[in-house]
Amino acid sequence: MKNTIAERVADFLKNFPPFDQLSKKDVFSISEEVTISYLEKGKLVYAAGDALHDQFYIINKGAVALNKEVNSKTQTLDHFDEGDIFGLRPLFAKENYATSAVTEEESILYGIPLAVFKPLIAQNKDIVNFLIESFASNTENPFSKELNADVFQSTLEFDSKELFELQPARYVKKVITAKPNVSIKSVAQLMQKHHIGSILIEDDMIPLGIVTNKDLRNKVITGEHTIEAEARAIMSSPVLCYPKGVSMSQAQIAMLKHNVSHLCITADGTPNSKIIGILSQHDITMMRGSNPAVLMKAIKRSNSTKELNRIRKKIMVLLDGFMQQNIPLTQTSKIIFELNDATVKRIIERCIIKMGKQPPVSFAWMSLGSQGRKEQLLHTDQDNAIVFDNVEDVKLEAVRDYFLTLAKKVNKRLNSIGFDFCPAEMMAKNPKWCLTLDEWKNQFSQWTSNTGDDEILLSSIFFDFDITYGDARLTNELSDHILTITKNNDLFLAKLGASALRSASPLGFFRQFLVESDGEHKDFFDLKKRAIMPIVDAGRLLALSNQIKNINNTAERFEKMAELFPDDKEFYLACSYTTKALIKFRTKQGLLHNDSGRFIELSALTKEEKLKLKRCFKTIARVQEYIKLKFNLNNFL
C-alpha cells in the first residue's frame, strides 16, 4: 500500500534545498519518518535553554520568528517562511538551544529526524556546507570564527595558470548524431554538411560510439570497410563520457590517457545517460586562447582597438569560467583587474603615439570608483581622471589642452570596447577632472572643508583612485594630501558616515525589501545601492579615519582593520567576506542576465541565494550600527 502522506511530504521537500540535492529514494525515506506539527500563532517550537530536539524543522506553511532575550527585551534575529529550515543546532552543537522559535502565524512544520537524515548526507559536501551556512545565518554573528573553517571556501593561492586550468571546459551543446545502422557514407556526408570532425552514434540519445575523421581515414579509405557499411562497423566504442563541469585540465588528461580526441558529455557522466554535449581537443585548444598569460601578451602586442575588443570578450569568457568553477573571488578579482588595467594602459600608450608627440609634463591616469578599488569585474561605466605636474600659468592651458585631447581619444576607445561613457561625465575628457597636482589638492581640500551632499558624493568617487598609467609620484602625493586633510576632521568624517547610513540594511523578509517603486526597474532590488554601497562606504570611512594609505579595495581595507584592531578581528573579517560575497553575487547575476547585475528580481532567487544574501545583510546592519556609535551620528540622521 502506498504511503500517500509520505509522498506528499516528499513532493514538498524535493522543491527546497538541501533536499533538492538528494535522490528521490532518499527524500522518500526521510519523508516516511517526518513528524508533522500544526501550531497556532504565538506558539513555541522550542525555547532558549531547552534541551536539543532529535530533529530540525522545515516550514510547510506559515511563518516562524527566531528570538533572543537581550536586557529583558525580546530581539528578533530572523524570520522564516515556507521552505525555510531552522532549528539546526542539534546538527552542529551539543549545548541547549540559544534562541527561541515562535510561530508568527498558523503554521505546519515538518520535523526532519536526525537519525535518518545524517547518514544520508555524510558524504555530500555541498549539503553539509549548505546546512552550515544556514546554521551560521541564524546566529548573531553569521561569520563566527568557529564556523569559518567550514563555511568559507578555501582561498588557496593559485597562480593564474592553475586557476585557468580549473575552469569548466566549454563543450558543444548542439550535437550532431547518427544511428548505428546508417551507412558510413551518410555519416561522412553529415560531417561535411556541418563542418565537423566527429559524429556521435546513439540510440535514444544514449551514446554507443563515435566516428571521427581518423576512423574514416584508417578504416574506410584504406579499404578495410566500404562506404556502404553500417556506422557501427567503424565507430570507436565505448565513448569516453564525463559530466558537464569537467575541468579543462581533467579533460586534457583524460584525452591523453586514453589517446582520444573527443569526450562525450552526458547527464550523469556515464555512458548510461543521455547525451548533452561533446568536447574535442580542438575546443580545449581554442579555450587556451583565453589563458590569462596568453591574454596579457595579446593585450601588450595589440595594435588596434578592434583587436582589444576581441580580447575583452575573451576576458569575459575567462571571468564566466572562474564564476562557474567557484574560484575564490580574491584570486579572480586580481586576475581580471590586471587584464582590465593592462587593456586601459595599452589604449593610453597607443593614443599617445597617435598624438604625434610625448606628454609635455609628467602625468598619471587615474581609474576611479569600482575600478579604482579593484572591484570592477563586469562591463560598467568608465570613471577616470588625469593629474599632471604643476606648470607655469602661461603654459597651463596649452598643457591642459594636450591632456584633454589625449583623454578624448582614450575615453572614446574605452567606450568602443565595452566601458560605457559615464552619464555624469566623470571622465578625464571633462576639463573639471583633468587638473594639475595643486588643482586636485585644492579641489579635495574644498570638498572636505565646505561639505554638502554633492561634495560627499564626489569624495566617495574620487577618493577611491588607483594609478593605471603614468607617474606614481603624483598619485602618492594626492594620497598623502587626502590623509592630511581628513586627519582629525571629525565634521567631514561624520558627514561621510551619515551618508553611509542613508541606505538602510535590507534585513528581514524578502517580500519586505526596499525595491524600486517606479521606473525601468520597478519592483526590482537594487543590489548596488542597498547592499554593496553601504559596505563600500563603511570601508572607505574606516580607512580614512584610521589613516590607512594606499589600500582602496574594500575587502582589503577591512582586513587591514582586522590587523590593526585584533580584538575586533572577527567582525572586520566578516565585513571583508561580505564585500566579496556581494561582488561575486552581482557578477554571477550580471553574467547570467548579460547586464551589470545591479538590479535583482527577488522572486527568481533560490532559497540558497536568499540565504547567502541574508547573511551579508546581517553584517551590513552590524557595521552600520558600529559606524553610528563610533562617529556619534544621531544628530546627523
Of 422, 399, 437, 408, nearest to 348 by C-alpha is 408
Of 513, 613, 507, 617, nearest to 79 by C-alpha is 507
Residue 62: C-alpha distances to residues 459, 587, 610 (Å): 47, 33, 18
Length of the chain in residues, anyone?
637
Say what the pLDDT of residue 146 is: 44
DSSP string, 521-575: TTT-EEHIIIIIHHHHHHHHHHHHHTT--S---HHHHHHHHHHH-GGGHHHHHHH
Average pLDDT over residues 428-447: 97
The answer to whether 206 and 238 are in contact (CB under 8 A) is no
Say what the pLDDT of residue 637 is: 56
Q: How many CA atoms lie within 13 A of 276 on its CB side?
A: 14
For the chain, give the percent of residues with pLDDT over 90. Answer: 51
Longest dimension (CA), the chain: 98
Of 327, 343, 438, nearest to 391 by C-alpha is 438
Say what the pLDDT of residue 616 is: 86
Say what the pLDDT of residue 429 is: 97
C-alpha cell at 240: 569516453
Average pLDDT over residues 13-20: 88
Rounded Cα gap, residues 538 and 528, in angstroms = 14
Q: Does residue 34 surpass a pLDDT of 80?
A: yes
- The band of 252, judged by pLDDT with boundaries at 50, 70 and 90, is confident
Q: How many CA atoms lie within 13 A of 367 on its CB side?
A: 27
* Cβ partners under 8 Å of residue 50, min gap 6: 96, 97
The residues that bridge with 243 in the sheet, in sequence order, are 266
Say what the pLDDT of residue 636 is: 58
Domains of the chain, with CATH numbers?
Answer: 4-138 (2.60.120.10), 177-289 (3.10.580.10), 291-438 (3.30.460.10), 495-636 (1.20.120)
Q: Does residue 405 surpass a pLDDT of 90?
A: yes
What is the chain's mean pLDDT, rounded?
86
- Whose cell is 570608483? That residue is 369
The answer to whether 557 and 573 are in contact (CB under 8 A) is no
E-state strands within 375-429: 384-388
Compare 507 and 462 and report the one with higher pLDDT: 462
Compare 70 and 588 and report the one with higher pLDDT: 588
Lowest mean pLDDT among 60-64, 519-523, 592-596: 519-523
Q: How many CA atoms lie within 13 A of 54 on its CB side?
A: 6
Terminal C-alpha separation, the chain: 65
Rounded Cα gap, residues 142 and 329, in angstroms = 19
Burial readout 505-534 (b: 16 or more C-beta within 10 A, e: otherwise): bbbeebeebebeeeeeeeebbbbbbbbbbb
Q: Does residue 320 surpass a pLDDT of 90?
A: no
Q: Compute and round to an integer the Cα radius of gyration of the chain.
A: 29
Of 414, 399, 496, nearest to 447 by C-alpha is 496
Rounded Cα gap, residues 335 and 166, in angstroms = 14
Average pLDDT over residues 102-119: 93
Rounded Cα gap, residues 396 and 390, in angstroms = 8
- The band of 546, judged by pLDDT with boundaries at 50, 70 and 90, is very high
Q: Does residue 233 surpass a pLDDT of 90?
A: yes
Q: pLDDT tens digit string along 161-208?
A: 555 666 678 888 889 999 999 999 999 999 999 888 899 999 999 999
- The band of 72, judged by pLDDT with boundaries at 50, 70 and 90, is confident
Rounded Cα gap, residues 34 and 60, in angstroms = 12
Say what the pLDDT of residue 122 is: 73
- The band of 2, judged by pLDDT with boundaries at 50, 70 and 90, is low
The residues that bridge with 85 in the sheet, in sequence order, are 58
Rounded Cα gap, residues 428 and 382, in angstroms = 10
Say what the pLDDT of residue 246 is: 84
Phi, psi of 378, deg, nearest 5: -90, 170
- Whose cell is 571629525? That residue is 490
Say what the pLDDT of residue 548 is: 93
Lowest mean pLDDT among 101-115, 393-407, 605-619: 605-619
The answer to whether 167 and 139 are in contact (CB under 8 A) is no
Q: pLDDT tens digit string along 144-163?
A: 444 443 333 333 333 555 55
Q: pLDDT tens digit string along 372-392?
A: 998 988 877 899 999 999 999
Other Cβ atoms closer than 10 A to 25: 9
Rounded Cα gap, residues 119 and 305, in angstroms = 58
Lowest mean pLDDT among 448-457, 504-513, 561-570: 504-513
- The band of 141, judged by pLDDT with boundaries at 50, 70 and 90, is low
Of 434, 433, 462, nearest to 447 by C-alpha is 462
- The band of 504, judged by pLDDT with boundaries at 50, 70 and 90, is low
Say what the pLDDT of residue 78 is: 74
Cis amide leading into 238 (omega within 30): yes
* Cβ partners under 8 Å of residue 372, min gap 6: 366, 383, 464, 465, 466, 552
Going by the DSSP 8-state scheme, the letter that residue 194 receives in this structure is H
Query: 459, exposed or middle or buried, with CB in 10 Å at 0-12, 13-18, 19+?
Result: buried
